Structure 1
């Protein structure tokens, strides 16, 4: 018994048809039938019930299929790992990155990574955290970058950095006199928020609801710098990650932290559970974590 025979067997088991399975395997139907017969003879068991028009697995065939399918998956994973190891720092990676995180902490990461690993092609797909999760689940990206919390039953989360989101108001706003604020202080305010594709949007809504009210959202945008400009025009208040605001040189705004509990802004990588992490992916993850932690320490 060898890997080729297991592949032939599982293909027939999945298709329940020798002709279709043979076409998928690019071999003749008689050759496929002979291989399966030889496998049954070697194992001294009947794998298929051929008494009806549609072939079926026998009880022993069902058991053998589960084991064989697992072996083939492990074999493919081993081949992928060996191929990946042989290529070392060559290949490509697709990263889902929310614009807010990209602007605040990943500009230097992406630039230095391209310089250090010129043979790795890096593709960036910019979306809010909710869309990053969707694209990762669908296999459209290799790695996502999001803010926690995340569904850790579905995804693996690797922390990168910890920070907080803060309130920004116009310098003439009554809240600008406070050293810190609570969400209860914002009950009567007009909110200018990142849209629903951003995890921060949902965190803010949840904190307002926990404080006993539904926020009055005057405007939503996917552009954080546009929200800052609106606040500078005294059109409402906004809540944004502190690292972003360190890059802002807009006059007439005041930044105010939240009182206990703070509004955490914890950034991390997101992977599908049981996903094979290639050498290229691991290289990008390690490089990013090292650089971000150096820049924030």
Structure 2
């Protein structure tokens, strides 16, 4: 027996009025009638007497009403117990943990989730395509600089996790080196470095999408870089490297005067990492989402306190 049909029959048996029962159940009357007919077909007997005097339960209907109540209660109790077990199961997270912004926020999130006894967060190293691991259910959450549109097309959901302002890194002799800030329009005729490693490929998708949103396709020079040493040590040759202003290596390059950094301003001038997960996992991941919000609130309060000092 369809448990929801049983739940609907219980409501109908209580008020003996299709219109009233359908309203209480927030479904249409035709749908309720169809579901009752389905039950009658399943049991091979009329469950209701329908005559001019009104609606009455048959003997079979009374038996179903008595037993369906116990069945629905048992189902709901079982579902609550199973959901409790699911909520206690560790939340498996993979993604760009080498990224300082991501790792710092996720470390605090895991600590808050554990201390509040909401959930246990476990970090794993991904082997293979990380997005496919989420799709298959092999992991619960991927943290990555992805395109939300691309993820939506694959049937996955995204929640913003970190957002870092972008900076244009150029050689000291580059025409943009002396600017106080630039916009996407200033990059229209510039050649952007496009790194082809697994680490930066998804990040580049966000940069490329931002260029498209501002009306141009970026000119690029592809460079292979498997780690941060290659990434930040690559000769610029008059080209522009767009990356997060918060990266430690960026700060070191600028502080030592090896390269110039110009803040990018305007719309889409941040690089955003996302929590990527399957829609059916939304409820189980609520403890993680709540812990992320708690950490953000804590950090905002600390920033506010520093400003008032």
Instruction: Calculate the TM-score normalised by the size of structure 2.
Output: 0.56
Matched, 1:105 2:102: yes
Change (3 A) 1:249 1:158: same
Q: What is the CA distance between 1:80 and its match in structure 2?
A: 5.8
Aligned twin of 1:85 = 84
* Alpha carbons 1:91, 1:121 under 8 Å: kept: no
Instruction: Determine the C-alpha separation between the residues in 2 that align with 1:175 and 1:216.
Output: 17
Instruction: Determine the C-alpha separation between the residues in 1 that align with 2:266 and 2:286.
Output: 36
Instruction: Determine the C-alpha separation between the residues in 1 that align with 2:41 and 2:194.
Output: 72
Aligned length: 227
Aligned twin of 1:143 = 141
Structure 2 counterpart SS, 1:95: strand
Instruction: Determine the C-alpha separation between the residues in 2 that align with 1:123 and 1:206.
Output: 30
From 278, 290, 301, the equivalent of 1:272 is 278
Aligned twin of 2:166 = 165
Counterparts of 1:108-127 in structure 2, within 5 Å, are 109-110=106-107, 113=110, 117=114, 120=120, 122-125=122-125
Aligned twin of 1:203 = 206
Instruction: Determine the C-alpha separation between the residues in 2 that align with 1:222 and 1:80.
Output: 46
* Alpha carbons 1:147, 1:265 under 8 Å: kept: yes
Q: What is the CA distance between 1:173 and its match in structure 2?
A: 2.8
Instruction: Determine the C-alpha separation between the residues in 1 that align with 2:226 and 2:297.
Output: 27
Structure 1 counterpart SS, 2:137: coil
Q: What is the CA distance between 1:270 and its match in structure 2?
A: 2.5
Unaligned segments of structure 2, at least 5 residues: 4-38, 46-70, 304-309
Aligned twin of 1:294 = 298
Aligned twin of 1:216 = 220
Structure 1 counterpart SS, 2:267: coil
Q: What is the CA distance between 1:276 and its match in structure 2?
A: 5.3
Unaligned segments of structure 1, at least 5 residues: 4-38, 46-70
Rg comparison, structure with higher value:
2
